[in-house]
Amino acid sequence: MTETRLLREQGVTAPAGFRAAGIAAGIKASGNPDLALVFNEGPDYAGAGVFTSNQVKAAPVRWSQQVLKGGRLRAVILNSGGANACTGPGGFQDTHTTAEAVAAALSQWGTETGAVEVAVCSTGLIGDRLPMDKVLAGVTEIVHEMAGGLVGGDEAARAIMTTDTVPKQVALHHKDNWTLGGMAKGAGMLAPSLATMLVVLTTDAKADAATLDQALRAATKLTFDRLDIDGSCSTNDTVLLLSSGASEITPSPEELEAAVLAACDDLCAQLQADAEGVTKRVTITVAGAGCDDDALVAARCIARDSLVKTALFGSDPNWGRVLAAVGMVPFTIDPDAITVSFNGSAVFSDGAPMPGAREVDLSGADINVVVELNQGSGQAMVRTTDLSHAYVEENSAYSS
Amino acid sequence: MTETRLLREQGVTAPAGFRAAGIAAGIKASGNPDLALVFNEGPDYAGAGVFTSNQVKAAPVRWSQQVLKGGRLRAVILNSGGANACTGPGGFQDTHTTAEAVAAALSQWGTETGAVEVAVCSTGLIGDRLPMDKVLAGVTEIVHEMAGGLVGGDEAARAIMTTDTVPKQVALHHKDNWTLGGMAKGAGMLAPSLATMLVVLTTDAKADAATLDQALRAATKLTFDRLDIDGSCSTNDTVLLLSSGASEITPSPEELEAAVLAACDDLCAQLQADAEGVTKRVTITVAGAGCDDDALVAARCIARDSLVKTALFGSDPNWGRVLAAVGMVPFTIDPDAITVSFNGSAVFSDGAPMPGAREVDLSGADINVVVELNQGSGQAMVRTTDLSHAYVEENSAYSS
């Protein structure tokens, strides 16, 4: 291989040393695939994870946080069809039981595995206990299926979908002959501190848990943390990175970090493009803030504003709503120093509208909003979407 | 009069010593009424005001803030059909010119008035200059109309409507023979630090500017500041309180404060009931917080959550979204100690759902969500609405 390539196929099984599977275990009433397994064949078993910052954390998040303390990860079991959040001690026990069942099945198959090496991820409706009879039967079946020799990345990516309309996968083939792969799900309840999403990244590069952790935190901070579809942060957000070391190549920490960032960025764009009810892919860039953190706060203020988002749904260059939103930032700004542009056309400058500001064409699917505060060099970009009828429709009839 | 009565008629002209008018000046393309005047005939001219906390303040807000520094207010001129926000120095000059025209017309009519005694309020689209030829011709006409002897409170309340579907008025007749009246507009861009709204309150009670100011701040803090329709705070929010002293009664500061609070609370309920796209009137009460401020922050977190609001639009008791929203508060909570109820039915307690939680009937127009944090005695209530198709429709096609 002479150059690094980024593809959208194979996903978690693109790197050497990983197998995966996805099956329909009957957790979803629809009968669609709902159980996925990612398995690290080694020789290394390093792992890292980042999790939701929501104080209301689902049972699988609390379990997987404990698992990751060891820095060692053999397998990840993921289910859609139920978040197992707000389900009390019984819900936590269900997660524990699931991890034990995965470890037992893998051990039976000849790979001695402990429950503390198995991360668990769940997504779906908050508040219902999982149908454990189906989950446990599914665990037996999925390990059997994976043992059959399938690579299964595609199937795993499909099995974690909820309101997603397409599976999201990425594979970055590094020119130095190692690979980083990944899959993601997430369509709504997408907000900072990770979207409502589950992401599993795998690599055959050799890297210890600390190096993986550093690369993962740096990448998620710039990608998933800056994807804000509806300002709602999930109880179940999980991003995991597993290394098999099977390539026997040890990239520099910088190379690894760049690869993880590129993969996360690509998955992020896929999540944005498939967000609930999306008709516009919107990027909000705030520049000229006192620092990057201020810029990020301002970009989020705009990205979360319902009036900005409904205007963009209507392809309406209603820049006044952008100004009104940015006027609520918790640091001092000078309104007269701000410039605003839509898709490269300046619409507001020197405290007043620019000629033609109401005629900017926003009819396309991609809208870039740039706000220059002119008070420093801080900059940040947040990805969001419009607020459409389809978003309301999808979210007004989810649980019932 | 033997008891205090609260009615929804007459509005700003219910108290003695006030006249008002509302006309169609041609500012709105629709030809609907768009210019209102409230005039204080005295003998006192005390006034107080509270304004948007948005850093991007419309020209009329900046003008009226200056006017109120004197604590003296003779008249308020209000227009719909244009916010005169983000319109540069020219926009501010337009406001100044309007106040001068009102003062000149009133002086000509025999009431010596200075421009610095005239507050200006504007509402409508951000970013366009007002058609000053129409505004100034309208000022001449409206003063003439008011001089004709009409009381005109109803007409004024109609002329300030934008996306409002009904005028909002209140009149509190105190048993001690003084009266407090008011009118309000506001349907979207309604969020803390005052909704996108214009409110004028009048009273014939005798009270100095400082007393009015204190009563007004105390009342708005508990009412308009806790109305949050879409989390978007306007550039034009203004609440004014004028006293004519015509009743020659001087209520105690507590009596006045109670009356202002009752009037603001009633106008607030009217704004909530007529909010853009509303199909549900929702109150979010958070109790058991460490302090009232924490409770308010938590209530706002829930009231602004798009997933909570779309679920309520669907009459869906999706309490998990309430938990996920409250999990993002910026202070420490204990998720297992929280209880949540919908319309009096407990749905979540002791870290797990209550039996029947998914079957709570939310099909009615009023929904009460109560979250008990069980960590103190702080409490707060926020009024909001659901997030409906009609909200999206109304706001995706406003400017164009």
Does any CB of chain B come closer than 8 Å to the CB of residue A348? yes
CB B136 within 8 A of CB B217: no
Min Cα–Cα distance to chain B from A369, Å: 17
Q: Is the pLDDT reported for residue A245 higher than 70?
A: yes
**pLDDT confidence band for A307 (50 / 70 / 90):** confident
**pLDDT: is A171 or A229 the higher one?**
A171
Return the residue of B nearest to A230 by Cα.
B306
Domains of chain A: residue spans and CATH:
5-273 (3.60.70.12), 281-395 (3.10.20.340)
Q: Is the pLDDT reported for residue B64 higher than 80?
A: yes
> Is B185 within any annotated ligand binding site?
yes
Q: Is the pLDDT reported for residue B62 higher than 80?
A: yes
Q: Work out how many CB contacts closer than 8 A connect A with B.
A: 233
| DSSP sequence for B305-361 | -HHHHHHHHTT---HHHHHHHHTT-SS---GGG-EEEETTEEEEETTEEPTTGGG--
Lowest model confidence (mean pLDDT) among A228-242, A328-342, B60-74: A228-242
Does any CB of chain B come closer than 8 Å to the CB of residue A337? no
The proportion of chain B whose per-residue pLDDT surpasses 90, expressed as a percent, equals 52
A61-97 per-position pLDDT tens digit:
999 999 999 899 999 999 999 989 888 899 999 999 9
Residue B192: its chain A contacts at CB < 8 A? none
Q: Is the pLDDT reported for residue A400 higher than 60?
A: no
CB contact under 8 A, A55 and B87: no
Does any CB of chain A come closer than 8 Å to the CB of residue B325? yes
CB contact under 8 A, A327 and B54: yes
pLDDT at B300: 86
CB contact under 8 A, B353 and A86: yes
ipTM: 0.72
Residue B89: its chain A contacts at CB < 8 A? 351-352
pLDDT at A97: 98
Q: Is the pLDDT reported for residue B192 higher than 50?
A: no
Return the residue of B nearest to A389 by Cα.
B389
Q: Which of B85, B318, B348 sits opposite A398 (nearest CB)?
A: B318
Q: Give the C-alpha separation, B227 to B272, whole Å.
A: 7
> Is A244 within any annotated ligand binding site?
no
CB contact under 8 A, A56 and B348: no
CB B173 within 8 A of CB B163: no
Residues 230-259 of A with CB under 8 A from B: 230-235
Half-sphere exposure in the Cβ direction for A98 (13 Å, CA): 34
Lowest model confidence (mean pLDDT) among A300-304, B41-45, B270-274: B270-274
Does any CB of chain A come closer than 8 Å to the CB of residue B112? no
What is the average per-residue pLDDT within A21-26?
96
Question: B43 preceded by cis ω (within 30°)?
Answer: yes
> Is A162 within any annotated ligand binding site?
yes
Which tokens belong to A307?
């009036």
**pLDDT confidence band for B342 (50 / 70 / 90):** very high
Q: Which of A126, A392, A400 sits opposite B320 (nearest CB)?
A: A126
Q: Which of B232, B332, B351 sits opposite A324 (nearest CB)?
A: B232
A331-346 per-position pLDDT tens digit:
988 888 999 999 999 9
What is the average per-residue pLDDT within B360-382?
92
CB contact under 8 A, B231 and A306: yes
B140-174 per-position pLDDT tens digit:
999 999 988 777 889 999 998 887 888 989 899 99
**pLDDT: is B388 or B172 the higher one?**
B172
For residue B96, the surrounding DSSP H or E stretch is helix B88-108
What is the average per-residue pLDDT within B7-30?
92
| DSSP sequence for A299-329 | HHHHHT-HHHHHHHHTT---HHHHHHHHTT-
Min Cα–Cα distance to chain A from B197, Å: 14
**pLDDT confidence band for B134 (50 / 70 / 90):** very high
Question: Three-state SS for B283?
Answer: strand
CB contact under 8 A, A400 and B314: yes
Lowest model confidence (mean pLDDT) among A69-73, B32-36, B350-354: B350-354
Q: Which of A54, A316, A396 sits opposite B400 (nearest CB)?
A: A316
Q: How far is CA A182 from CA A8, A11, A122, A270, in A?
A: 9, 5, 17, 12
Q: Give the C-alpha separation, A122 to A134, whole Å.
A: 14
pLDDT at B389: 79
Q: Is the pLDDT reported for residue A194 higher than 90?
A: no
Residue A88: its chain B contacts at CB < 8 A? 336, 350-352
Q: Is the pLDDT reported for residue A198 higher than 90?
A: no
Q: Is the pLDDT reported for residue A188 higher than 60?
A: no
Q: Is the pLDDT reported for residue B72 higher than 90?
A: yes
Return the residue of B nearest to A321 by Cα.
B126
Q: Which of A295, A299, A298, A276 is closest to A385 using CA atoms?
A: A276
Q: Is B196 a catalytic residue?
A: yes
Does any CB of chain A come closer than 8 Å to the CB of residue B87? yes
Q: Is the pLDDT reported for residue A302 higher than 60?
A: yes
Q: Is the pLDDT reported for residue B400 higher than 60?
A: no
